[in-house]
Structure 1
Amino acid sequence: MPKTIFHILTILFFYTLPFQGNSQNTTTNSAEQTILLNLKNQWQNPISLSHWNSSSDHCTWPEITCSASTGSVTILNVSNSNITGEIPPFICELKNLTILDFNYNSIPGFFPTVLYNCSNLEYLDLSENLFIGTIPADIDQLSPAGRLEYLKLEANNFTGDIPPAIGKLTGLKSFYARANLFNGSFPEEIGNLLNLEELALSINGFASQAIPSTFTRLKKLRILWTTQTNLIGEIPQDIGNMTAMESLDLSENGLSGNIPDGLFQLKNLSILYLYKNSLSGSIPSSVEALNLNIMDLSNNSLTGRIPDEFGNLTKLTGLALMFNELSGEVPASISRLPSLINIKLFINNLSGQLPPDFGRYSMLRTFEVADNNFVGNLPEDLCKNGALIGVVAFGNNLTGELPQFLGNCNTMQVVQIQSNRFSGQIPDGLWTATNLTTLIISDNSFTGQLPEKVASGLSILDISNNQFSGELPSGVSSWNNLRVFEASNNLLSGNIPQELTSLPQLATLLLDGNQFSGSLPSTIISWKWLNVLNFSSNRISGQIPAGFGFLPVLNELDLSENEFTGEIPAQLGLLRLNSLNLSSNHLSGRIPGEFENAVFDRSFLDNPGLCSSNPTLGLSSCVSEARKSKKISSKFVAAVSSIAAVGFLLALAYTFFIIRGYTKKKHISDSTWKLTSFQKLDFTESSLLSSLTESNLIGSGGSGKVYRVPINRSGGCVAVKKLCNSKRLDEKLEKEFRAEVEILGTIRHSNIVKLMCCISTESSKLLVYEYMENRSLDRWLHCEKRSSSNTGSVHHIVLEWPKRLQIAIAAARGLCYMHHDCSPPIIHRDVKSSNILLDCEYNAKIADFGLARMLVKDGEPNTMSVVAGSFGYIAPEYAQTRRVNEKIDVFSFGVILLELVTGREGNEGDENSSLAEWAWRYFQEGKPLLDALDEDTMEPCYLEDITNVFKLGIFCTSLVPSNRPTMKDVLQILLKCVPSDPCGEKNGRSEHDVTPLLKTSKRERSLIDEDSSFGSIVR
């Protein structure tokens, strides 16, 4: 019996053990679930974590992984969960956490040192967030026991140095710090991480430094990415010791010297990026890196031949050697590489014939050999395996007819073979290749006629300087996606068909130097985007169609050297032309008043029947109908003479009183006024001078005063800006005057204020502009604040969101034109809300070009002697370096966007900070965007677009210029914010149309596309 009881007690004891353990696990799990639910509350209950609730087992939540043995949380992965709050200290109460992933959220603040208490961490990912500040000097406290193996900090806003203490995290296998704002250095102590396998420091602004010699001790390092980190000096000669290396990216630095032989001895190397450095010498010929998959040595100063040994790289898919000084022939063995997909050899000194086997043994996609000295034919088999998308071979001495493969290659997208010596006809199938978008075959000796049909997606067609003949086919109306059609200097003939005017996307049309005849089509159906039109040097007759005057964006018009007759249509005066040439025709009559200024002094030559009232145009003076009439009777002459005598006496008396009035009022008495007109004028200089009175004064500033001057009885006005000094104009004002005249006198755009004329003497200068009824944008945005603070009264001006967005788009169009459509580009340098003027319909126009400058040519200095602009709008790099480029205007425009959405002034952030700085900090701290918006814009139906414009403003004011968009990109984003139905449905436009562009830009900066060098085949 006792023995039986003993057995029973023993069994009961062992049976109770698991239940005791489960009880402890249950207690632990309950505590950990409470911690997780507290985390969710701390982060303000993001929708992505809505399934975190006490009614379910937290170990079943997708973001959580629990230990199979203990049931405790070991992995917390909340990547891409829209977390905007900080990481709280109690997160480390999850004692067994080994993996913590916060990637791709919006977590603000400094590096979370609270994680020092997570003592078991092996993997920590803080990438793609909004962290700021420096990496702590005691970063090694993150893992004092050396457990941490993976540390990822990419795509944040960390600054300063990477501290030497990083070298004490001896367990690290992977360290990623790409795409931050580091501006200090990275330490040699990284070389102490002997277990390191992956190191990525790319896309930062580190101070210039050489590759630390200690790096070559990292024998286990497989990945080293340091593109755009300001590395200088030579690549270490003992780099061949890093035997585990698989992917090496040292591109876009300042590296010099030769490529060391040891680099090509790394047998595991598969990806090699050395592009955009200053490497010189020849490419090592001893190649043992037979696993190479991609090699990019482009944009250096490499000389000598392409090594024959490259033919042994049987795994090579991409070879980029462009922008070097390589010479000799291309080894035939390279053309037989079985894996070759992309080859880029353009802009070298290569010569000889192209190896005939390219495309025969591999799935070749891009073949780019432009700007060399190649002779002979194009290889016949480039598209043999049906994968070719682009042939770029312009600027060589290639001859013969095009291979027939081009007519059977439906994958083809781009063909650029201009500036060779090709002849014969274009293969029929090439015109209609299914995917063809770009066909540039100019400057050859091709013959034949143009086809009725072309590829449906063809966007660019350039056949200039060939021997094509015949008429333009009526089927040209089906070329619907054509944006650029250049056919200059061929043998084309017949009439310009009406069908050509129906192309909706056409932006450039050049048909000059052909044999076209007959009249032009009288109606223009669809040329809404036509920017450049050149029909010169043909035999076109008849009258110039008045419809040209209604082409909304036409910028250049050349109809010279034809047989046009009749008068110049007055409608042409509606155009904002940078270039007009109607010379060498048979035109007659008076030229439109808008062109009677010095800008168009070469536009009307060799038209004997034309006349003008402006003698500087080189045309005969217009004779009035009265003087052309028959002799007038003597009585009538006597009567007219009497009237004239009386009129003379009256005029003399009037002049006496006017002169006396001028003397009394101390008006400008200079008798040497010089007027230069840029538009048709319906006023005189004397009428302007007499109206520069205090009663007409509407503004004043550091450079002078601005007057509103009536010019006719119907209420028309101009704005006159008077620059003057007590003696002579000082140098600063003189420069501003010259800049304003030089730029505004030559450009024409509906979103740039129109300069009518300038009037000058030695001591005073007047600039006469179109009058903008609604004055400046800042008056509408900030008038109430200034009125209440200065006078105690409130004058409330409401500018609702649709008008604000309209203003932003119009101003963006003006800047986009200056940056992208002017040659050379124009940089304003003083973009601010007070320089955005509004007409009676709130159409915005950019004004005040006194500080503007045209971008200099390559090789010339592009810095200014002093920084000019207004506080709050000046880009930080401009203030520091005085370097001028388009991105300084983008920064200033970003400030205007922030003004439009917040109602704050550009210099108004908080204490000692600008609006841009305040907005960045506000966004990084994750504060509610609604609290930052101007209450006048708070229509609920517009909030999505307003917040997107706020984010765009932050994007434009990035501290790193390369991270800012171009004005062309800015304009496209703003256009997406325009609702098709105000305060109604957006026609299905998703919130993701704009926001991801701003959100994912950081991801795009941080990721290195392994095939990025082979993405674009159009130079």
Structure 2
Amino acid sequence: MTKVVLSCLKMTLFYLLSFLFLIYAHSQSQSLLYDQEHVVLLRIKQYLQNPPFLSHWTTTNSSHCYWPEIKCTNGSVTTLVMINTNITQTLPPFICNLKNLTYIDFQFNYIPGEFPRSLYNCPKLEHLDLSQNYFVGKIPDDIDTLANLSFLSLGGNNFSGDIPVSIGKLKKLTNLQLYQCPFNGTIPDEIGNLSNLETFYMFYNNMLPPTKLPSRLTMLSKLKVFDMHDSNLVGEIPETIGEMVALEKLDISGNGLSGQIPNGLLKLKNLSILYLYKNSLSGDIPAVVESFNLIELDLSQNNLTGKIPEDFGKLKKLTSMNLEMNQLSGEVPESIGFLPDLIDFLVFLNNLSGNLPPNFGRFSKLETFQVASNSFSGELPQNLCYNGRFVGLTTYDNNLSGELPETLGNCSSLQFLSIENNKFSGNIPSGLWTLKNLSTIKVNQNKFTGELPERISLSISDLGISYNHFSGRLPSEVSSWKNLVVFSASNNFFNGSIPHDLTSLPQLTTLLLDQNQLTGPLPSDIISWKSLTSLNVSHNQLSGEIPDAISRLPALNILDLSENKISGQIPPQLALMRPTNLNLSSNQLTGKIPSDFENLAYFRSFLNNSGLCADTTVLNLTLCSSAPQRVSNGSSVSQSHALLITVMVLASLVALLSSLFVIRFYRKRKQELRKTWKLTSFQRLRFTKSSIVSSMTEHNIIGSGGYGEVYRVAVDVLGSYVAVKKISRSRRLDKKLEDSFLAEVEILSNIRHNNIVKLLCCISSEDSLLLVYEYHANHSLDRWLQNKNKSSSAVSALVHYSILDWPRRLHIAIGAAQGLCYMHHDCSPPVIHRDVKTSNILLDSEFNAKVADFGLARMLIKPEELATMSAVAGTFGYIAPEYAQTTRVNEKIDVYSFGVVLLELTTGKEANHGDEHSSLAEWAWRYIEVESNIEDVLDEEIKEACYIDEMCRIFKLGVMCTATLPTSRPSMKEVLKILQCCNDPFANGDKNVGFYDHVPLLKR
């Protein structure tokens, strides 16, 4: 027994010593591994050139497991994270000497080079995020070497070519992100082999060739998030998509998808977000809807027909329903008005009819209600603002009637109201005028009655009440309407005089009081109207003289005083303004027309004023009689005769030369008119081809360039104009110009956007081509930015330019960005402008921007291939570096040029600012790099304390857009998003935090 006990004790002692030895050995091994990893980490720091953010990585600080960039498991490094740390070197090739790495995240840096194959030496790697860097080339075909990956994000780089088939072998992948890369190959069907995939992002890959959804994609039964918007997809949505039972978010918007929405798609039980907008889907929306977890539904901008399904009323979790810009018909199901979580309801631009469900807003926290451009009738729902969250009402172009709900007068959250062109009647609810957040009231073309209140909210900037039955006098207290920008009150029954206090509104740009019963003189002290661009008080009973001060309004371009009882002479200074649209007809004016008005551009401006005369017959007015000349007493008869003879001879010679010139002119004109002209119309026209051709005279030339002349041509008696660009086919070397011209026709005839210049028609003959555009009263942006420092004489030849304040500059930037965003992201194929600059941004009478001059633009017929142009075309200071060096074209060259425009808007400097070897963009980058105070470079003439932060942010955005590498520039969609965030006066800081966190340059 004792022997047995001793034997057991010996065995126990043996095992105890062995265990202690193993612990000691493991401890020594762990200590050695720890020391080795510490050395590797310090080598990584040295390889990255000792960046400041790693200053705490030292030999003395031995506890590297506590460094914020590191996480350890069982004392060994398993996680390495360096996000947004300005790394510019390649990944350290020895990074996998950290043998136990499972998690690597280097997103939002500037890491160059190809995909780092050195990562293949990390056999345990599960999570790899290299997104938002400068990687180039293809994703390796043997990427399946990283067999343990569950998360892979390579988005926001410059990877190109095919997406490798081998990705389908990464069986453990649950999250795959390949968004925003210029892939120009295919999406392999093998992605359907990723049976564990839950999230798949491939949005903003519009360099892909037109490609169908991979047929085996619907085998991903565990997929929860599928995002491929703006990825150039074509074809139909496969019916089998209804088998993806785990799907929670599906975004395949902004593609070229056609066909119908599969019936099974809206039966997916887990689906919470469905974005199919901006495709070419047609047919009816499936009638049976069982996706009761839907939170957001966006089917807008397709060709969907039929009715809104009754089953939509069962979607109790739905917060946003967007069906705008389709061809839906029938009534809105009444059950939708009972949805408890509905916030946004958008169905504008359809063929919907009937009454609107009366319970909208009663049971939900409704914010947006946009039903414009349909055929709705009946009254508005009474409870839109029942829960106090209502922000915007848009119902224009319907047949709605009755009075506005009184509850709108108490809706303190309301920001905009646009109910034009309906049959509303009665008085506007009194409380509506003073809502503290309301900025826009547009009730034009209804049957409203009553008088305007003495006071309106300080927040109202756009007030449109034209074509109603308002009456009484204009309030004498209009001086309290301090922030009013547009006041449109045409065609009402207002009487009395124009109140003097109306002249104290400094931000007013548009004042329309025509077709009322106003009396008395025009206000004389109007010098405060420094922003006014359009003034129309025609068809009233105004009297008195035209105030001299009207000639000193620096921005005025449209002036209509016709059909009144105004008398006296036309102020001579008025001619120096050269208003683009002037109508003084049907008054009681007298005296001589200022000589600068004696051209065909104004031949309808002075009609029916019997007391007016002119020195020429151009205006079809009475010729002014010359005053008789006295002969001095000391002059001899012979001298008088000699002088008379000399004058007669000179007069005869002048008459002869004039006759020859007129004969030649009319012969040439006759030849022009005899030509066979062909008119190709793109819009509904108010003129004929002969009226355009006959009006192309020297008096009407307003510009010229390499292509030829530009004419301003009047097209109706109201003084409306069009711009005509002419090019002759007969000139030597004109073939390139003609090709440029025809390219402009091809592009503009297919584009419809409010921020792109409208091409009305093309007129052609055997030797001439004419493009007819809408005319823009405020000319081009460069004249406003560059002419401010030029002499007044040089400026007066065009128009008197005032300084554009910052809100208006931002408004122009947003408009131009909207036009370019449409070209890049909404046109199929996308359109590249190639010559974005301030002179190609036109401004209408309200300073809305219009992108113009597409003579250099090209359609990307094959978006999967970067189009290589034969020669660089553009303007110094605006040309992207890669375009100048390689002539390769994609959307990012427009982003670069637009960035230069943003720098001009914020600094007031021209694009060629710098020395002979540099430009404004290069100068701005150097300024940013030395971390100088940005406020010092902002335009001093518009810099105000309340705008400085916003201007600094847009200056930085301009710098981002002009980055040397195209992949580091934002897309126009991202640029527009930033601009719109800046322009939203009701946006709080929290709304934009997430976005700006990913754009470090914009953080202030």
Shorter-normalised TM range = 0.7 to 0.9
The Cα shift of 1:903 comes to: 4.7
Letter in structure 1 aligned against 2:573? Q
| Matched-pair contact (CA < 8 Å) for 2:834–2:856 | no
SS at match of 1:333: helix
- Give CA deviations for 1:894-928 in whole Å, capped at 9, x if unaligned: 9998864585479xxxxxxxx99xx9xxx9xxxx9
State the partner residue of 1:66.
Answer: 72
- When normalised by structure 2's length, the TM-score is 0.72
1:244 aligns with 2:253: no
**In 2, Cα distance between the equivalents of 1:882 and 1:15?**
67
1:582 aligns with 2:596: no
- Give CA deviations for 1:398-426 in whole Å, capped at 9, x if unaligned: 11111111111111111111111111111
The Cα shift of 1:957 comes to: 9.6
1:677 to 684, 699, 703: 699
- Give CA deviations for 1:458-515 in whole Å, capped at 9, x if unaligned: 1211111111111221332122222221111111122222222222322222111111
| Matched-pair contact (CA < 8 Å) for 1:894–1:954 | no
- Give CA deviations for 1:668-694 in whole Å, capped at 9, x if unaligned: x9999998235999xxxxxxxxxxxxx
Letter in structure 1 aligned against 2:66? T
* 1:182-331 aligned within 5 A: 182-205=183-206, 206-331=208-333
State the partner residue of 1:495.
Answer: 497
**In 2, Cα distance between the equivalents of 1:509 and 1:461?**
10
**In 1, Cα distance between the equivalents of 2:379 and 2:837?**
58
Using a 3 Å threshold, how does the CA distance of structure 1 residues 479 and 421 change in structure 2: closer, same or farther? same
The Cα shift of 1:817 comes to: 13
State the partner residue of 1:152.
Answer: 153
The Cα shift of 1:296 comes to: 1.1
State the partner residue of 1:99.
Answer: 103
* 1:371-770 aligned within 5 A: 371-575=373-577, 577-624=579-626, 626-627=627-628, 639-646=639-646, 676-677=698-699, 749=779
* 1:780-859 aligned within 5 A: none
- Give CA deviations for 1:547-594 in whole Å, capped at 9, x if unaligned: 233333223222222222222223323435332222222222233343
1:34 aligns with 2:42: no
SS at match of 2:216: helix
| Matched-pair contact (CA < 8 Å) for 2:412–2:436 | yes
State the partner residue of 1:1008.
Answer: none
Using a 3 Å threshold, how does the CA distance of structure 1 residues 817 and 163 change in structure 2: closer, same or farther? closer
| Matched-pair contact (CA < 8 Å) for 2:72–2:78 | yes
Letter in structure 2 aligned against 1:59? C
State the partner residue of 1:114.
Answer: 118
Paired residues, what number? Answer: 845
State the partner residue of 1:789.
Answer: none
The Cα shift of 1:630 comes to: 8.6
**In 1, Cα distance between the equivalents of 2:856 and 2:622?**
36
State the partner residue of 1:714.
Answer: none
Letter in structure 2 aligned against 1:51? H
| Matched-pair contact (CA < 8 Å) for 1:487–1:512 | yes
Using a 3 Å threshold, how does the CA distance of structure 1 residues 208 and 749 change in structure 2: closer, same or farther? closer
The Cα shift of 1:10 comes to: 8.7
* 1:865-1014 aligned within 5 A: 869-870=873-874, 890=898, 900=913, 903-904=916-917, 930=926, 948=956, 951-952=959-960, 954=962, 963-964=971-972, 1000=999
1:86 aligns with 2:90: yes
Letter in structure 2 aligned against 1:106? Y
SS at match of 2:135: strand
The Cα shift of 1:223 comes to: 0.9
State the partner residue of 1:718.
Answer: none
Using a 3 Å threshold, how does the CA distance of structure 1 residues 898 and 632 change in structure 2: closer, same or farther? closer
**In 2, Cα distance between the equivalents of 1:221 and 1:437?**
44
- Give CA deviations for 1:858-884 in whole Å, capped at 9, x if unaligned: xxxxx9x9999459877879989999x
Using a 3 Å threshold, how does the CA distance of structure 1 residues 293 and 932 change in structure 2: closer, same or farther? closer
| Matched-pair contact (CA < 8 Å) for 1:596–1:679 | no
SS at match of 1:398: strand
| Matched-pair contact (CA < 8 Å) for 1:591–1:610 | yes
Letter in structure 2 aligned against 1:180? C
| Matched-pair contact (CA < 8 Å) for 1:140–1:169 | yes
| Matched-pair contact (CA < 8 Å) for 2:236–2:259 | yes
Letter in structure 1 aligned against 2:524? S
* 1:20-59 aligned within 5 A: 21-56=26-61, 57-59=63-65
Using a 3 Å threshold, how does the CA distance of structure 1 residues 402 and 818 change in structure 2: closer, same or farther? closer
- Give CA deviations for 1:211-257 in whole Å, capped at 9, x if unaligned: 11101111011111111112122111111111111111121111111
- Runs of 5+ in structure 2 lacking a partner? 1-5, 658-663, 670-696, 709-726, 742-766, 785-790, 796-802, 824-830, 841-851, 860-866, 905-909, 939-951, 984-991
- When normalised by structure 1's length, the TM-score is 0.71
| Matched-pair contact (CA < 8 Å) for 1:378–1:398 | yes
| Matched-pair contact (CA < 8 Å) for 1:197–1:220 | yes
| Matched-pair contact (CA < 8 Å) for 1:739–1:852 | no
**In 2, Cα distance between the equivalents of 1:207 and 1:902?**
42
- Give CA deviations for 1:47-98 in whole Å, capped at 9, x if unaligned: 443433334322222221111x2x1111112112222322121222221111
Letter in structure 2 aligned against 1:476? V
Using a 3 Å threshold, how does the CA distance of structure 1 residues 583 and 997 change in structure 2: closer, same or farther? farther
Using a 3 Å threshold, how does the CA distance of structure 1 residues 952 and 881 change in structure 2: closer, same or farther? closer
Letter in structure 2 aligned against 1:951? V
**In 2, Cα distance between the equivalents of 1:817 and 1:316?**
31
**In 2, Cα distance between the equivalents of 1:199 and 1:821?**
29
SS at match of 1:73: strand
| Matched-pair contact (CA < 8 Å) for 1:105–1:129 | yes
SS at match of 2:573: helix
| Matched-pair contact (CA < 8 Å) for 2:162–2:185 | yes
**In 1, Cα distance between the equivalents of 2:235 and 2:736?**
43
Using a 3 Å threshold, how does the CA distance of structure 1 residues 633 and 972 change in structure 2: closer, same or farther? farther
Using a 3 Å threshold, how does the CA distance of structure 1 residues 970 and 671 change in structure 2: closer, same or farther? farther
| Matched-pair contact (CA < 8 Å) for 2:402–2:423 | yes
Aligned-residue CA RMSD (Å): 5.5
The Cα shift of 1:430 comes to: 1.1
| Matched-pair contact (CA < 8 Å) for 2:728–2:769 | no
Using a 3 Å threshold, how does the CA distance of structure 1 residues 183 and 460 change in structure 2: closer, same or farther? farther
**In 2, Cα distance between the equivalents of 1:376 and 1:251?**
34
SS at match of 1:548: helix
**In 2, Cα distance between the equivalents of 1:134 and 1:1003?**
31
| Matched-pair contact (CA < 8 Å) for 2:570–2:591 | yes
| Matched-pair contact (CA < 8 Å) for 1:452–1:476 | yes
State the partner residue of 2:787.
Answer: none
Letter in structure 1 aligned against 2:182? L
Letter in structure 2 aligned against 1:43? L
**In 1, Cα distance between the equivalents of 2:329 and 2:854?**
46
**In 1, Cα distance between the equivalents of 2:485 and 2:433?**
16
**In 1, Cα distance between the equivalents of 2:998 and 2:86?**
11
SS at match of 1:439: strand
**In 2, Cα distance between the equivalents of 1:65 and 1:585?**
85
Using a 3 Å threshold, how does the CA distance of structure 1 residues 746 and 333 change in structure 2: closer, same or farther? closer
**In 1, Cα distance between the equivalents of 2:386 and 2:340?**
13
The Cα shift of 1:655 comes to: 14
Most deviating of 155-164 and 29-38 = 29-38
| Matched-pair contact (CA < 8 Å) for 1:418–1:440 | yes
Letter in structure 2 aligned against 1:165? S
